[in-house]
Structure 1
Amino acid sequence: MAASAPISKMIYVGPFVHSRSLTELEIGENGAIGVDENGIIRFVERDFHEGFEKLMAYVEENKDEWVHAKVVKIEGNGFFFPGFIDTHVHAPQHPNTGLFGKTTLLDWLKKYTFPMESSFSSLPRAHRVYQNFVSRTLSHGTTTCSYFATIHVPATNALADICLKRGQRAFVGRVCMNSDLSPEYYRDESVESSVRDSKASIDYIRSIDPNGEIVKPIVTPRFSPSCTPDCLSAMGKLAQETDTHIQTHISENKGEIALVQELFPSSKSYADVYDTHGLLTPKTILAHAVHLSPQERKIILARKSKISHCPASNTAITSGCAPIRELLNEGHTIGLGTDISGGFHPSILENVRQAIWVSRHLAITTNDSAKLSTEEALYLATRGGAAVVGLEEKVGGFEVGKEWDAQMIQLGEVKQEGNEDGIFEEGPVDVFGWESWAERVEKWVYSGDDRNTVAVWVRGRLVHNTSRYTGAEGTAAP
């Protein structure tokens, strides 16, 4: 069954921050956001500078249906921020996070990835890893993930079950791979079995969440070298027949691109391989896109396919620096992905930083126009990611009608006498009190981590909290 809705209306009181546009953050220093029993935002008030009691009087006078709502109020240096959206992540690779050594992409697959993923034929092992990873990503404020699973139907279905139970939005895909590039011990037996097993997972996921409110299936050909031409075509047809999203990789690594040219000699490019097999659609998520040619960019834009930028992974495996500024200028829809375990960290906030660093490294060899700002990187982590997975009308910001996917961020406060005992229970971000709210957000972006994320909600349901979250403060009126 779908994740349960909150049992009562809620009013979230305190500062809130979200992207108004690609280049502009809105910081509501004295906000109040009303969320109904179904997790839908029903009002957003921005100017209650006269305090909590004034807000309660306002609610009692003007919003009769909210007088008995429960209230969550932020104290100190806290603020509400939209939940992060991870547009590309390999859940079964979680145990390998941080293990990439001196390998490049294709070597890394053979040494680390395929052995780990193949072990998910053991359902207890899959449960252990997936339960831990969903909890881990939620703890970092990630409310939506687009997950690659493995070729195993039971384990893939288990991931969907876990996401639904925990309340994390997820696109869950059984990985398709039937070519000789994959080892004999870990590949689909045939095109027919790949279609059959993928359809089985699609049907199962839709049976446990028929309206796709929390979990949705996604067709997942690993990448073109891992699939035969017939398999790619079959996956494109399956996605069309089942009206399903598609996720795969593209132009991550120069060696990979050369392999694609070798395996598909009649194709004009890597993007053309997907296009001619029916896999470039408005519901397609293409991970990496580091080395796209101008013509490939035009094809992707014309097909309205989306891009997942995975900066930490691209650096870790030395794949290259994706020219995100150029792609944004051309009109591409882009979000961020952790790409665990090519990426070394399950946090989208970490990848916000990495996206900025990658753009600055690129600027060193090109020009300053390649740089991404803090505001732009946060947009990619929220509204951009929402558009990549087709949820831009539901999540990514705080507007009336959107669903309450949010995280409560709490920053530290430096005492007048300092921290003489050397204990920092409030996380790594120190606020002295003279910083503006914009500066506090900047400090969080560049220094924060999961210790600053004290509570997380999806569709109004509390799905993660720490001991620093005190919960509802009471009701708006007796």
Structure 2
Amino acid sequence: MRTKVRWMDKIVKVIKGTGFSSISAQEIEILEQYLYCIDKNGMIIKRLNPSDSQYNQTLQEAKETNKLIALEEGQYLLPGFIDLHIHAPQWGQSGTALDIPLHQWLDTYTFPLESKFNDNMFAEKVYSHLVDTLLAHGTTTGLYFATIHEEASYKLAEICAKKGQRGLVGKVVMDDLEQNPEYYRDKDTKTALEDTESFIKRIKTLQPEIKQGVYPVIIPRFVPSCTDQALEGLGELTAKYDVHVTSHCSESDWEHGYVKERFGKNDAQVLNDYGLLTDKSVMAHCNFLSDADALTFKKQGTAIAHCPISNAYFANGVIPIKKFHEFGVEIGLGTDLSGGFDPSVYSAIRQAVISSRMLEDGVDTSKSPIERSTTDKSRITVKEAFYFATAGGGESLSLPIGRLVENYAFDAQVIDTRTPNASMPIFNDSEPLEDIFQKLLYLTKRENITSVWVQGEKIQK
């Protein structure tokens, strides 16, 4: 009589297929025909390769108990992507007016649009479409800016919960009377802080019901939009509730200069002084971070959400992301909808590589190659960009996500390289899997993503 695999009773499904996962920023695991054994909580409790002694028996038992889900030929498994910077209400203006300065773009397009989210029906329409779109592009976790409206912000968290995406959502604070338009700002500082605390409590009440997790986030939009009193109060709420924090930090010449003039120091130091840099904090952009700022991030455990596409439009510079990562700062990727026009993290991966190479090589062709290139090695590889989109994002959020390894949530996307109308140029059955990995990152379109899993649950597309 065959002895059963002792832990199979805990398994609700077994996924079989070839996948890729980061070991580090420089190295990936090629997981050829691995088994991922997933429990009722959606966690990978066992991962077996074909040479493991229990592989064949586990595979047989999974077949016999109808727990096996096997990828087809030409299909590959990647971890779900983690998008660390999404302006959810801006989805409706994606691809609009990216050729004008940031301040003008905000005043003419963004703030008028965000003000409409006092209408919950409008919010539900936009947010539902956005979450569906992100899931279809392989984004299994999103860190969201909502608006100043508590009810609409809560609606976004509910939609993430209902549709199966892991959502980290915050009500945005904008209370400074001089820096925010009259039609779109918090009523006053007291109200902004009370609404933020109420939002945190409501999300915490919702949390036990949600398998994949929803999390409240404290969000000062950025330092210029907040009074000193608001920043102080948000820091106190951060300490009181131990929740995630996100904001913009030293994004552009204007923001960086404004904060320095107002406080006599950089954004990072101001945020740190108010208790807003913690190991659960993610700061977007950070293009003008000084070395001292980066070391403060490292000390506090604060991460950078690198947004290479929107940086190209609005940041006035290319962030030396490789240098900051080598400093020991945690790095993830963000699409920055809608300053970034594309909801796909694949595009952010590609642009991160492109921007880093332009930073290293220089862009002024009137200079000689030696004169126009930077002195440091700034370029990143596609492996590093993939790491930022997956494992780095999980580390940035202090959550066990972003890797296809044991004791991590099974968040994954299945990529079909043979999808009609989007097939990839793979003509050799013996093509190295590392080459196929690169093709997946550079060539995958929405049509290639045939299924998405979050916390062990297949999302209905």
Instruction: Give yes or no for TM over 0.5.
Output: yes
Offset of residue 57 of structure 1 = 4.8
Matched residue, 2:180: 182
SS in 2 for 1:350: helix
Alignment partner of 1:141 out of 138, 142, 148: 138
Shift of the 222–229 alpha-carbon distance from structure 1 to 2, 3 Å rule, reads: same
Offset of residue 262 of structure 1 = 2.9
Q: Hey, what's the Cα distance between the residues in 2 that align with 1:42 and 1:245?
A: 27
Q: Hey, what's the Cα distance between the residues in 2 that align with 1:291 and 1:241?
A: 30
Q: Hey, what's the Cα distance between the residues in 2 that align with 1:58 and 1:74?
A: 16
Q: Hey, what's the Cα distance between the residues in 2 that align with 1:241 and 1:100?
A: 40
Alignment partner of 2:420 out of 408, 421, 425: 425
> Is it true that 1:326 corresponds to 2:332 in the alignment?
no
| RCO comparison, higher one (Cα < 8 Å, 6+) | 1
Note if contact 2:14-2:62 (Cα within 8 Å) is conserved in structure 1.
no
Q: Hey, what's the Cα distance between the residues in 1 that align with 2:150 and 2:315?
A: 32
Matched residue, 2:367: none
Q: Hey, what's the Cα distance between the residues in 2 that align with 1:112 and 1:337?
A: 21
Note if contact 2:251-2:315 (Cα within 8 Å) is conserved in structure 1.
no
Shift of the 270–55 alpha-carbon distance from structure 1 to 2, 3 Å rule, reads: closer
Matched residue, 1:87: 84
Deviates more, 1:38-47 or 1:427-436: 427-436
Alignment partner of 2:332 out of 332, 335, 339: 335
SS in 2 for 1:9: strand
Matched ranges for 1:34-433 at <5 A = 34-47=37-50, 57-60=57-60, 67-179=64-176, 180-210=178-208, 213-264=212-263, 267-365=264-362, 366-367=374-375, 369-391=377-399, 394-412=400-418, 425-433=420-428
Offset of residue 201 of structure 1 = 1.1
Matched residue, 2:438: 442
Q: Structure 1 unaligned runs (5+)?
A: 1-6, 413-423, 466-478
Q: Hey, what's the Cα distance between the residues in 2 that align with 1:455 and 1:211?
A: 24
Q: Hey, what's the Cα distance between the residues in 2 that align with 1:59 and 1:256?
A: 56
Offset of residue 73 of structure 1 = 1.1
Deviates more, 1:118-127 or 1:71-80: 71-80
Q: Hey, what's the Cα distance between the residues in 1 that align with 2:179 and 2:138?
A: 36
Note if contact 1:316-1:344 (Cα within 8 Å) is conserved in structure 2.
no
Offset of residue 100 of structure 1 = 3.0
Structure 1 runs (4+) deviating above 6 angstroms are none
Report the AA paired with residue 278 of structure 1: G
Q: Hey, what's the Cα distance between the residues in 1 that align with 2:313 and 2:187?
A: 32
Offset of residue 263 of structure 1 = 2.8
Report the AA paired with residue 73 of structure 2: G
- What is the number of equivalent residue pairs in this alignment? 437
Q: Structure 2 unaligned runs (5+)?
A: 1-9, 363-373
Q: Hey, what's the Cα distance between the residues in 1 that align with 2:247 and 2:287?
A: 14
Offset of residue 224 of structure 1 = 0.2
Cα distance per residue 1:203-223 (max 9 Å; x no partner)? 111111138751010000000
Cα distance per residue 1:23-50 (max 9 Å; x no partner)? 111112221111122211122122269x
SS in 2 for 1:165: helix
SS in 1 for 2:168: strand
Deviates more, 1:382-391 or 1:437-446: 437-446
Q: Hey, what's the Cα distance between the residues in 1 that align with 2:334 and 2:108?
A: 22
Shift of the 26–426 alpha-carbon distance from structure 1 to 2, 3 Å rule, reads: farther
Cα distance per residue 1:258-317 (max 9 Å; x no partner)? 1212333xx322212112222122221110010111222222222221111000110122
Quote the sequence identity (%): 36
SS in 2 for 1:395: coil
Q: Hey, what's the Cα distance between the residues in 2 that align with 1:113 and 1:315?
A: 18
**Alignment RMSD (CA, Å):** 2.0
Note if contact 2:144-2:167 (Cα within 8 Å) is conserved in structure 1.
yes
> Is it true that 1:19 corresponds to 2:16 in the alignment?
no
Offset of residue 183 of structure 1 = 0.2
Q: Hey, what's the Cα distance between the residues in 1 that align with 2:34 and 2:64?
A: 17
Offset of residue 67 of structure 1 = 4.6
Deviates more, 1:166-175 or 1:439-448: 439-448
Cα distance per residue 1:390-429 (max 9 Å; x no partner)? 11xx2111222211111111102xxxxxxxxxxx725252
Offset of residue 69 of structure 1 = 4.3
Tell me the TM-score normalized by structure 1. 0.88
SS in 2 for 1:94: helix
SS in 2 for 1:346: coil
Shift of the 455–223 alpha-carbon distance from structure 1 to 2, 3 Å rule, reads: same
Note if contact 2:62-2:68 (Cα within 8 Å) is conserved in structure 1.
no
Report the AA paired with residue 184 of structure 2: Y
Report the AA paired with residue 256 of structure 1: E
Shift of the 332–175 alpha-carbon distance from structure 1 to 2, 3 Å rule, reads: same
> Is it true that 1:452 corresponds to 2:448 in the alignment?
yes
